[in-house]
Amino acid sequence: MTSNKNILFALCLALMAMVSCSTVKDIAYFQNKVVNQPEKIDKHAGIVVQPKDMISIVVSSRNPELVAMFNLPVVSYQAGGELIAAGGYNQRLMGYVVDEQGFIDFPVLGKLSVAGKTRWEVAEMVKDKLLQDGYLTDAVVTVEFLNFKVSVLGEVQSPGTFVIEGDKVTVLQAISLARDLTIFGRRDNVSVIRERNGERTIYEVNLCDVDMFKSPAYYLQQNDVIYVEPSPEKARQSTIDDKKLRMTTIAISSSSLLVSVATLITSLLIK
């Protein structure tokens, strides 16, 4: 009997080890990583300006009065959301909205083609034009994105849309903004949905594989959507919970019907 108990105990331990290994395999990131070995990182050129983007362009010079005509005003937001003059809280620079053809209407210089350029290329273009047209010889131009945002949906702790400062964010950083995947999120099949130049592309990113760093979706672009698919276990659990809810609803409805019928019969008998 003792021998049988030992065999049963050993089988239980083996089964628990197998389940544990399977669980780690399902949720661990970068499972085939190589440690302590430097790896060359591909240069990230930065995102490019697209139609409907909003960008800020600030021109600076030793002559502040001269550059004033090239800069949009700074505004603040009231509690009701209406724009008011600068001087309150939450000040921000007004931006240029890129039209469908990829142009912005810049003060004095007129229409400028900015679509397809990085923010550094736009800054260099504005600086060169100011110099060539004889307006400023010492201009310093700074360009920033004002509406760079990404959305994270599905099996994450805090799904939502997140505004990104700067012009560089990775799929891992976006997931961290959503407080990581839940235990039921599939690490091996994260979708990145991207719309660009009138086309929609869906990329698959495997967080368990270090090759994810080579994916064209590793560095995100403006308005990318990340979707984390639920695991089969979560799908089965949702199906079971839905069946339980339906059965409970049916039971409550049946009980209510029986009570109503019993009340009706009782009232008839009393009469």
| Residue 90 predicted with pLDDT over 90 | no
Q: What is the separation of C-alpha 133 from the centre of its chain, rounded to a whole number of angstroms?
A: 41
Residue-averaged pLDDT of the chain: 80
CA-to-CA distance for 177 and 150, rounded, in angstroms?
A: 10
Q: What is the mean pLDDT of residues 160-166?
A: 91
Would strands 149-154 and 225-230 be described as parallel, antiparallel, or unpaired?
parallel
- The CA-atom distances, in angstroms, between 23 and each of 27, 29, 72, 175 are 6, 12, 55, 20
Q: What is the mean pLDDT of residues 238-249?
A: 53
- The CA-atom distances, in angstroms, between 179 and each of 154, 155, 256 are 12, 11, 44
Segment 105-146, tens digit of pLDDT: 999 999 999 999 999 999 999 999 999 999 999 999 999 999
pLDDT value of residue 113: 96
Is pLDDT larger for residue 140 or for residue 92? 140
Segment 2-46, tens digit of pLDDT: 555 555 555 555 444 444 444 556 678 888 777 877 877 777 777
pLDDT value of residue 21: 45
| Residue 240 predicted with pLDDT over 70 | no
Q: What is the mean pLDDT of residues 174-179?
A: 96
Work out the pLDDT band at 1, boundaries 50, 70, 90: low
Segment 30-89, tens digit of pLDDT: 887 778 778 777 777 779 999 999 999 999 999 888 899 999 887 765 544 454 444 545
Query: What percent of the chain has pLDDT above 70?
Result: 70
Contact 251/208 with Cβ under 8 angstroms? no
| Residue 175 predicted with pLDDT over 80 | yes
| Lowest pLDDT segment from 36-45, 111-120, 193-202, 217-226 | 36-45
pTM (2 decimals)?
0.70
